[in-house]
A and B are shown apart, each in its own frame.
Chain A
Amino acid sequence: MPKKINVLNHVLVPQHIVLSREDAIKILKKMGIKKKELPWILASDPAARAVGAKPGDVIMIIRESPTAGKSITFRYVMPG
C-alpha cells in the first residue's frame, strides 16, 4: 500500500485553515464582501481535502509573500 502523504507538510503548500461558520461570516462582513465574490477552490483540491473542507466552507490561506511578508487570503469551497 502506498504511503499516505499529507500535502500540507510540503514546503510549497501554504497553511490552509477551514473557518467556522461564525468566523467566516465575521471576517467576510469585516471585508464587506459576500462569499460568492471570493475565489474558488474545489472540495477535491488536495489541500482542501487534507483539511477536510466541505462545499460551502471558507478556507483561510496564510502564505509567505515577496511583497507583503505574510499574506492572508480566502477561498470558497466548491462542490467537485
Chain B
Amino acid sequence: MELYDESTKVVAGLKFGLLSPEMIRKISVAKIDTPELYDEEGLPIPGGVMDRRLGTIEPGVRCATCGNTPLNCPGHFGHIELARPVIHPEFAKYIHTLLRATCRRCGRLLLQPDKIEKNRKRMEALGKHWIMLKYRFAEAIQKEAASINSCPHCRAPQYKIKFEKPYIFYEERDGILVKLSSAEIRERLERIPDEDLELLGFNPKDARPEWMVLRVLPVVPPAVRPSITLESGDRSEDDLTHKLVDILRVNQRLRENIEAGAPPLIVDDLWGLLQYHVATYFDNELPGIPPARHRSGRPLRTLAQRLKGKEGRFRGSLAGKRVDFSARTVISPDPNIGINEVGVPIDIAKVLIVPEKVTPWNIEEMRELVKNGPNRYPGANYIVRPDGARIDLRYVKDLEGLAQTLKPGYIVERHLRDGDIVLFNRQPSLHRMSIMAHIVKVLPYKTFRLNLLVCTPYNADFDGDEMNLHVPQSEEARAEARSLMLVQEQILTPRYGGPIIGAIHDYISGAYLFTRKDTIFDKNSASQLLYIAGYEGDLPEPAILKPGPYWTGKQLVSIFLPDDMDYVGRASVAPASGQCDEEFCENDGYVLIRNGKLLTGVFDKQALGAEKPETVLHEIVKEYGTEKAREIMDTMFRIFIAYLDMHGFTMGIDTIEIPESAIKDIEDILRKAEEDVQKLIDQYLSGELTPMPGKTRRETLEELIMQRLAQARTEAGEIASKYLGMTNHAVIMAKTGARGSMLNLTQMAAVLGQMSIRGKRIERGYIDRTLPHFRQRDLSPRARGFVYSNFSKGLRPTEFFFHAISGREGLVDTAVRTAQSGYMYRRLANALQDFYVAYDGSVRTSEGFIVQLRYGEDGVDPARSDHGRAVNVDKIIKKVLARRGEK
C-alpha cells in the first residue's frame, strides 16, 4: 500500500527533560525585546512577539526564517532575556525538595559521605532492573536528607525552608522568616553536584535543577497563537500574545529601573510582577494567586489551560476526534426491518461514501453510478484515478462521457446502498453492544430506523434519541465489522450468560396471547400470519378438524423452532413453584418443547425475554447458533406483533375499574388500619409501647405503623386483583413481564399507600408537622404521607404534595447515581483499556505483565457460559431425561 511507504518510522522512545538557557537561545531564531506588535502601517515590528522571523500566518507572506508559505512554515521559536531570573511554577515543588535536601552553603546532599556512597551503589543496582523502585528509593533519600540540620560536609547550619504556593520560598532563620530571591535559589541549585542529584532521582544531563529557574523564556511562534482580524478590520490577538506582551513590558521596566539604580524596593516589586506574569503565562489557574484577566474581565486561557480538562488538547483534541464518514440523526422504530439492518435516510446515503475499486466485473455497474452523479441516487461523488487524481463529480458537466473513460483500477466513491455494512452507535457507550454493525437499508424520510429488538443493547427509546453511524472504509474494517460486530453476534452479552437481545413490551404480550391454549386460527389467518413472517413452507396438520381445519398458536410457533429442540422451563405467568401442576398448570405456565414442538406452556418474558438467561431463546442461541436466533427474531417474533394487531390490545381508564363493592371493601380495610394505627399512637403516648431491641420507642412506633400500613395496602391490592384477571390487558402486561407490575395496577385501582423519604414516613416541613393543614405532632397516617386515594380517582392536594416529595427523591437519586457511576466507569476504562487476554489464557498489560494467570481465574468467557458457569450439569441431566421421556 502506497500509503505506508518509506515514511514509516519506528518511535524508539520518548525522553522528557528541561531546556537549558543555552538550548533555548540555540533554538531561538529571534531575540524578542519590544512590547509593541505592529508599526503604523500595521506591519510586525522586528523584535516584537509577532516578528516575521517567528513564521507568519498571513496568507501571501513568506516566512523570514525558512522562506515557506504559511501552510508549509512550521513556525519558529524566539526568546526573551529576562532581566532577573524567575521560578517556573510547574517545578516549584521539585525546587522545594532540592532546597531541603541539600546544603545551603556548599550544595552537597545532606548525608554522611559513607552513606552517600552506600546509597549510590544501591541506586546503581536498582537502576539496572527496577527503575520504579529507583524513584521510590530516591524519595526515601530526599526525606532523610531533609531532616538533617547541619551539613555533614561543611558544617553549615541548615534552616527550615518554607514553601508558599505557588512560587515563594522562605528560610526560617532563628524564628524569622526570610524570603529567598529567585536569584539566590538559582545559585543554590547551581551548586548541587551532578552525583548528588542522581541520588535524589534527577538526571542532571537532561534536567539540571537551576534550569527550573528561568533566565531565558522561549517565545512560542505565532502559529500556535494566531491573531484574528475582525469584520471591522481591527486585529484581535490571542491570549498568549497578550501574556507575552505583559511579560515584555514588565521586563523592560525592570531592566530600566535596575540600570538607573532604582531603590531595591521598586526593583523587587517589578521582579515580583515579572514572576507573576511568567507564572500565569504557564498556568492561569495556579492556587493562591489571582488569575490574569483580559480587559473584559474574562480569565486568560494560557498554556496549561490549553492542555487540561475535557475540552483540552488531550481529552478534547487527541483522545476524542471528530471523524469523517459519519452521520447523526433522530432514531425511530421499524418492526419490519431485520435486527441486523438499519434504515438510512436517502439524503444521508447520498453523502456517505464507500470507495469501490473498478474491476472488469463491476465496470458497467460503476459506469451507471458515475452517470447518476452526486445528486441522483444511487450515484457516486468522486472518482479517484490510478495516478491519485480525485475528480469531484459535482463539477463534471459530461458525466456520461466521464463514465465511458472509467477503466479497471479506478476507484469510484459511490453512495451508500443496501447491503453495505456500517457501525451504529448510541451514547453513552457503556458496553461493547453500544456499537454494533448493521446492514444498510436505504429508506425515505429523515430518521435512522432500527428494529425494536435492538433497543435493549443500545438502551434506546424514541422520545427524541439520536444515534451515530459510521461507514468503514477499508476491506479489513468491513470484514471485521461483519464477522465480529454484527448485531446477531451480540445477542449474548459478556456481562452474564444470557441474551441481551430478546422480546420486550409488545413482543411479550403478543407472544403470550399467540401461544395461549385458546388461540386458534383458520386457514386464512394462519396463512396471513405465516406470510408476514416470510414463511414459504407447508402448513402442518391442523390440530382441530371439526367444524373445520384450525391451527393453534403453539403449532404455528413450532414451525420456527429447531426440529430437534428439547426444553423444559417455567413461564412468568406460572404460579410460584410448588403450586404448579406442570402439564396441568392452570395458567399454562409449564413450557415443554419436545422435538421442536411447543407442547404445553405459553411464551412470555421467561421464554423469550431480553436480559433473561436460561430461557428458550438462550437455549436457541447457544445450541443452534446466532444465525438461527436471528432468523427466529426476524420471523416468529414478527408474527407476535402482527397477531397483537389482529387481536387488538389496549388499555383505558376502564381497564383498572373495580366494582363499587370492592371500593367499599378497600375503604373498610383502610379504616381498620387507621384505627389500629391510632391505637399504636395512643399506646405510644401513654407510654405503654415497649420498644423493640436496638430501637427507641419512637422508632418502634414508626416501624409498627409502617408495617401495619404496608399490610393494609397489600390487602387492598389483593381485593383489587380479584377483579383484575387474565382477560385484563394491563394484567396480561404485568403478569407476562411485558410492562408494569401488579403494584402499579393496584396503585391505579385501589390505593397508593405510604409515600416515603429515605425509607421513612414523611416528617419534615414545618415545626412538628409536614404541612399547615395538620395539627402539630399529628402522627396519623394521613398527616405523615399515607395516600388513601388511587390514581384512577385522583389525589387530594396534600396527598399530591407528598407524592411529589417522594417522586423528587427518586429523580435526585437517579441523577446522582448516573453521575457517580459515569465517573467510576471512566476511571475503570482508563485503567483497564490496555489489558488483553493472551494466547496462553492469561490477562496481561500492554507491557506483558501478568494480571491474572487465567482470565477470570477459570478461563471462562461469560458470554458463552451458562449463567457464569462453564457447564450446567443439572440442565444437561434434565434434557437427557426429557428426551428419554422421564421426569
- The answer to whether residues A79 and B857 also contact, given A37-B848, A37-B849 and a CB cut-off of 8 A, is no
Q: Assess whether A67 is interfacial by the CB under 8 Å rule.
A: yes
Residues of A within 8 A of B858 (CB): 65, 67-69, 71
- Taken residue by residue from 60 to 72, chain A's Cβ proximity to chain B (1 for < 8 Å, 0 otherwise) reads as 0000010111011
User: What is the distance, in angstroms, from B411's C-beta to the closest C-beta of chain A?
Assistant: 46
CB-CB contacts below 8 Å: A27-80 with B: 31-33, 37-39, 65, 67-69, 71-74, 78-80
Residue of A nearest to B869 (CB): A67
How far, in angstroms, from A72 to B852 measured CA to CA in the complex?
Answer: 10
User: Are A68 and B857 in contact, with the CB atoms below 8 A?
Assistant: yes
- Taken residue by residue from 865 to 882, chain B's Cβ proximity to chain A (1 for < 8 Å, 0 otherwise) reads as 000100000000000000
Q: Assess whether B6 is interfacial by the CB under 8 Å rule.
A: no
How far, in angstroms, from A67 to B858 measured CA to CA in the complex?
Answer: 6
User: Are A67 and B130 in contact, with the CB atoms below 8 A?
Assistant: no
How far, in angstroms, from A73 to B130 measured CA to CA in the complex?
Answer: 22
- Taken residue by residue from 830 to 851, chain B's Cβ proximity to chain A (1 for < 8 Å, 0 otherwise) reads as 0000000000101010001111
Residues of A within 8 A of B852 (CB): 73
Residue of A nearest to B140 (CB): A80
User: Are A74 and B853 in contact, with the CB atoms below 8 A?
Assistant: yes
User: What is the distance, in angstroms, from B855's C-beta to the closest C-beta of chain A?
Assistant: 10
CB-CB contacts below 8 Å: B199-216 with A: none
Residues of B within 8 A of A39 (CB): 849-851
Residue of A nearest to B844 (CB): A37
Q: Assess whether B391 is interfacial by the CB under 8 Å rule.
A: no
User: Are B857 and A67 in contact, with the CB atoms below 8 A?
Assistant: yes
How far, in angstroms, from A65 to B860 measured CA to CA in the complex?
Answer: 13
How far, in angstroms, from A12 to B860 measured CA to CA in the complex?
Answer: 25
User: What is the distance, in angstroms, from B520's C-beta to the closest C-beta of chain A?
Assistant: 48
- The answer to whether residues A67 and B860 also contact, given A31-B840, A37-B849, A39-B850 and a CB cut-off of 8 A, is yes
Q: What's the tally of chain A residues with a CB closer than 8 Å to chain B?
A: 17
User: Are B849 and A71 in contact, with the CB atoms below 8 A?
Assistant: no
Residues of B within 8 A of A78 (CB): 130, 133
CB < 8 Å: which of A32, A73, A79 contacts B840?
A32
Q: Assess whether B697 is interfacial by the CB under 8 Å rule.
A: no
Q: Assess whether B328 is interfacial by the CB under 8 Å rule.
A: no
User: Are B130 and A79 in contact, with the CB atoms below 8 A?
Assistant: yes
Q: What's the tally of chain B residues with a CB closer than 8 Å to chain A?
A: 19
How far, in angstroms, from A79 to B126 measured CA to CA in the complex?
Answer: 9
Residues of B within 8 A of A31 (CB): 840, 853
How far, in angstroms, from A31 to B838 measured CA to CA in the complex?
Answer: 13
User: What is the distance, in angstroms, from B844's C-beta to the closest C-beta of chain A?
Assistant: 8
Q: Assess whether B856 is interfacial by the CB under 8 Å rule.
A: yes
Q: Assess whether B136 is interfacial by the CB under 8 Å rule.
A: yes
User: What is the distance, in angstroms, from A38's C-beta to the closest C-beta of chain B?
Assistant: 6
Residues of A within 8 A of B850 (CB): 33, 37-39
User: Are B853 and A73 in contact, with the CB atoms below 8 A?
Assistant: yes
- The answer to whether residues A68 and B136 also contact, given A37-B848, A79-B130 and a CB cut-off of 8 A, is no
Q: Assess whether B854 is interfacial by the CB under 8 Å rule.
A: yes
How far, in angstroms, from A72 to B133 measured CA to CA in the complex?
Answer: 27
How far, in angstroms, from A24 to B310 measured CA to CA in the complex?
Answer: 47
Residues of A within 8 A of B853 (CB): 31, 72-74
Residue of B nearest to A38 (CB): B850
How far, in angstroms, from A79 to B122 measured CA to CA in the complex?
Answer: 11
User: Are B868 and A67 in contact, with the CB atoms below 8 A?
Assistant: yes
User: What is the distance, in angstroms, from A80's C-beta to the closest C-beta of chain B?
Assistant: 6
Residues of B within 8 A of A65 (CB): 857-858
Residues of B within 8 A of A69 (CB): 858
Residue of B nearest to A72 (CB): B853
Residue of A nearest to B855 (CB): A67
How far, in angstroms, from A71 to B854 measured CA to CA in the complex?
Answer: 9
Residues of B within 8 A of A80 (CB): 133, 136
User: Are A79 and B854 in contact, with the CB atoms below 8 A?
Assistant: no
User: Are B849 and A79 in contact, with the CB atoms below 8 A?
Assistant: no
User: Are A79 and B133 in contact, with the CB atoms below 8 A?
Assistant: yes
User: What is the distance, in angstroms, from A61's C-beta to the closest C-beta of chain B?
Assistant: 10
How far, in angstroms, from A33 to B763 measured CA to CA in the complex?
Answer: 64
How far, in angstroms, from A37 to B850 measured CA to CA in the complex?
Answer: 6
User: What is the distance, in angstroms, from A39's C-beta to the closest C-beta of chain B?
Assistant: 6
User: What is the distance, in angstroms, from B850's C-beta to the closest C-beta of chain A?
Assistant: 5
- The answer to whether residues A71 and B857 also contact, given A31-B840, A37-B848, A37-B849 and a CB cut-off of 8 A, is yes
Tell which of B844, B848, B850, B858 has the most Cβ of chain A within 10 Å: B850
User: What is the distance, in angstroms, from A70's C-beta to the closest C-beta of chain B?
Assistant: 9
User: What is the distance, in angstroms, from A66's C-beta to the closest C-beta of chain B?
Assistant: 8
Residue of B nearest to A32 (CB): B840
Residues of B within 8 A of A38 (CB): 849-850
Residue of B nearest to A67 (CB): B858
How far, in angstroms, from A78 to B857 measured CA to CA in the complex?
Answer: 24
User: What is the distance, in angstroms, from A4's C-beta to the closest C-beta of chain B?
Assistant: 26
How far, in angstroms, from A67 to B857 measured CA to CA in the complex?
Answer: 7
Residues of A within 8 A of B133 (CB): 78-80
How far, in angstroms, from A73 to B856 measured CA to CA in the complex?
Answer: 12
How far, in angstroms, from A31 to B130 measured CA to CA in the complex?
Answer: 24
How far, in angstroms, from A44 to B549 measured CA to CA in the complex?
Answer: 83
How far, in angstroms, from A32 to B840 measured CA to CA in the complex?
Answer: 9
CB-CB contacts below 8 Å: B126-142 with A: 126, 130, 133, 136
Residue of A nearest to B853 (CB): A73
User: Are A67 and B856 in contact, with the CB atoms below 8 A?
Assistant: yes
Residues of A within 8 A of B130 (CB): 78-79
Given contacts A67-B857, A73-B852, 12 further A-B contacts (CB under 8 A): A33-B840, A37-B850, A38-B849, A38-B850, A39-B849, A67-B856, A67-B858, A68-B856, A69-B858, A73-B853, A80-B133, A80-B136
User: Which residues of A pack against B, CB within 8 Å?
Assistant: 31-33, 37-39, 65, 67-69, 71-74, 78-80
A sample of 17 inter-chain contacts (CB < 8 A) reads: A31-B840, A32-B840, A33-B842, A37-B850, A38-B849, A38-B850, A39-B850, A67-B857, A67-B858, A67-B868, A68-B857, A69-B858, A74-B853, A78-B133, A79-B126, A79-B130, A80-B133
Closest 9 CB pairs of A and B: A68-B858, A68-B857, A71-B857, A67-B858, A65-B857, A67-B857, A37-B850, A67-B856, A73-B853
User: Which residues of B pack against A, CB within 8 Å?
Assistant: 126, 130, 133, 136, 840, 842, 844, 848-854, 856-858, 860, 868
